[in-house]
A and B are shown apart, each in its own frame.
Chain A
Amino acid sequence: GAGVSQSPRYKVAKRGQDVALRCDPISGHVSLFWYQQALGQGPEFLTYFQNEAQLDKSGLPSDRFFAERPEGSVSTLKIQRTQQEDSAVYLCASSTGPYNSPLHFGNGTRLTVT
């Protein structure tokens, strides 16, 4: 079966541009997570959805970051007015949820802000 799909795989943005990163979770997975991974570091939590409800957005670095999952399936992470420090790999993960379930990660979107 299909795993978690993320698009685009690579994104280059000029500083100040807005970007939208898409995540297609495994069908039927209730929980969806966004993580940010800097080079040589572990994934850092950004936000978490259970179905369409955003239950935790404590990891979003600033109000330039916004995530949505309007129908409880596909999710979009939007970054407004990108800055160089936003350069990283953005990982999406889904799980059957709600508790103690393995996370299934996508291959990520590598964002480079120039």
Chain B
Amino acid sequence: QQPVQSPQAVILREGEDAVINCSSSKALYSVHWYRQKHGEAPVFLMILLKGGEQKGHDKISASFNEKKQQSSLYLTASQLSYSGTYFCGTEPSTQGGSEKLVFGKGMKLTVNP
């Protein structure tokens, strides 16, 4: 039931782009994205609901393909502050709206100057 995230780790230079993928074996009601820096709390980035919507703010955007049960997070022109571990949290359709999230193992992003 745990979603699979890929890649597991990426190293970028400042200004480069990255894509983080999240796939589930179950039909999904929603996907959440969070970023966690070492020793800190996970911080909310965005929520996507079923319907194939795409959301974004600043240079971070995401898409949700309900049919493929996949979501992707797009980081454009990465900044040093983007470094951290990115988690997707999925909510299966069978419990739509319950807020109980199942998180992937995370993708560690390192942005170097």
Do A107 and B41 touch across chains, with their CB atoms under 8 A apart?
yes
Which of B40, B98, B104 has the most chain A CB atoms closer than 10 A to its own CB? B98
Q: Which residues of chain B are within 8 angstroms of A41 by Cβ–Cβ distance?
A: 105-106
Which listed residue (A56, A101, A104, A108) contacts B100, Cβ 8 A? A56
In the complex, A8 has a CB within 8 A of chain B: no
Number of interface residues of A (CB under 8 A): 27
- Cα–Cα distance between A101 and B87 once the two chains are bound (Å): 16
B97 contacts A42, C-beta separation under 8 Å: no
Chain B interface main SS type: loop
| Residues of A contacting B: mostly | loop
List A contacts of B43 (CB < 8 A): 105
A104 to B40, CA, bound (A): 12
In contact, B97 and A99 (Cβ under 8 angstroms): yes
Which partner residue on chain A sits nearest B102 by CB separation? A45
Residues of chain B whose beta carbon lies under 8 Å from any beta carbon of chain A: 2, 30, 32, 34, 39-44, 47, 49, 87, 89, 97-106
- Apart from A42-B2, A45-B100, A103-B101: 10 A-B pairs, beta carbons within 8 A: A3-B41, A33-B99, A33-B100, A40-B105, A40-B106, A41-B106, A56-B98, A98-B97, A103-B42, A103-B89
